[in-house]
Structure 1
Amino acid sequence: MTEERPVRWLDEAESDAWRSYIVATLRLRQRLHRELADRHDVSLTDYEVLVCLEFQPGQRMRMTELATLMGSTKSRLSHQIGRLEDAGMVRRVRDPEDKRGVITELTEDGVRLLESAAPTHVEGVREHLIDLLSPEEQATIASAFGRVLDHLTQVEG
């Protein structure tokens, strides 16, 4: 039987940091989503999938790797990819090296959507986050969340 550790409750400053992070990231993602949806008829999560594929060799990636990169379940990603496939933005093909595996590829329509939507997204990221921070604050955020990502990768891996 494992011994339970006492809970280390958040103090006021820690609680303020946590709540600010949660509310700000939620509202930032909602705002970026709205801008992409209104101007380009694409959701933020779909845009993020297309960007992930764009930066891969051959603009293609195995579904399992894409799910990991997106922080998504295979099932949820499969539904999302199905919608993107129906819209002509991606296509799924069998992995030639592993017939059980599936690869998702960015289509020409997906590339065109990215070319059209990327300026809107980058302008939103700048306006609602990057330009509000000093270079030192940007470096602090990058360092802090890099550590969080490394930690989560280790405990999940």
Structure 2
Amino acid sequence: MTDIGGPARETQWLDEAQQRSWRALVLGSTLLMDRLDDDLRRRHDISLAEYEILVRLSENGGRLRMAQLADALAHSRSRVTHTIKRMERTQLVERMNSAEDGRGVVARLTDRGRLLLENSAATHVNGVRDHLVDLVGDDDFAALGRVMNAVTDHLIAAHPEMEMRQPATDDA
């Protein structure tokens, strides 16, 4: 079999402790995201992906170019376009041509979307606290943040044009 990713290198297998930690990360991340998504769907009829779109728009003055929104979410442009279309049908967002150059498309948060964000934020933040933050000590949570920032920095280093990093806020 040919290695598509480049020249072959010798594999350094994970030791038992590393394998346990890796599997804990994979399973814990999946379960956490599924739970946060389920809570938002049950209580507010919105997915976690839709909630994140509302958050990103709110943090950026209520509007953001579609390409920037996709970068901020680390989602494909087609996935974001599909989600935005669904959100337009429920009048949470609207799309319009960019006033800056007329070529780009901008997603804008509607009053209905802002109200849903305000009503669902406590559910999301309480879920993040209940199922992650309050389960570990401050030092462990800070270490998790440092680890994931290192991963993020490594993975986006090849794409400096992407605007994934957002200014730190007090909200989750």
Question: Which residue identity is paired with 1:40?
Answer: H
Letter of the 1:8 counterpart: Q
1:120 aligns with 2:123: yes
Q: In the alignment, is residue 71 of structure 1 matched against residue 58 of structure 2?
A: no
Aligned pair partner of 1:84 in 73, 87, 92: 87
1:116 deviation in Å? 0.6
- Matching residue of 1:55: 59
Secondary structure (helix, strand or coil) at the match of 1:155 reads: coil
1:10 is displaced (CA, Å) by: 1.2
Give unmatched runs, 5+ long, in structure 2. 1-5, 161-172
Cα distance in 1, alignment partners of residues 40 and 132 from structure 2 = 16
Which residue in the other structure is 1:4 paired with? 8
> Under a length normalisation based on structure 1, what TM-score does the superposition of the two structures give?
0.95
Query: Cα deviation per residue 1:49-69 (whole Å; 9 max; x = unaligned)?
Result: 11111100x211010011011
In 1: Cα distance, 2:122 partner to 2:143 partner: 25
Q: Distance in 2 between matches of 1:14 and 1:68?
A: 30
Rate the CA distance shift 1:96–1:13 in 2: closer, same or farther, 3 A. Answer: same
- Equivalent-residue separation in structure 2 for 1:98 and 1:49 (angstroms): 23
126-135 vs 3-12, greater mean Cα deviation: 3-12
**Which structure shows the bigger proportion of residues in helix conformation?**
1
Are 1:14 and 2:11 an aligned pair? no
**Matched residue pairs, number?**
155
Partner of 1:31: helix, strand, or coil? helix
CA distance in 1, matches of 2:72, 2:46: 20
1:155 Cα offset (Å): 3.0
Divergent runs of 4+, >3 A: none
% same residue: 41
Q: Which residue of 1 aligns with 2:149?
A: 146
Q: Is 2:82 the counterpart of 1:97?
A: no
State the 1:3 CA deviation: 4.2
1:3 and 1:150 map into 2 onto residues whose CA distance is 23
- RMSD (CA atoms): 1.1
Cα distance in 2, alignment partners of residues 13 and 60 from structure 1: 45
- What's the TM-score, normalizing by structure 2? 0.87
Q: 1:3 to 1:102 in 2, by over 3 A?
A: closer
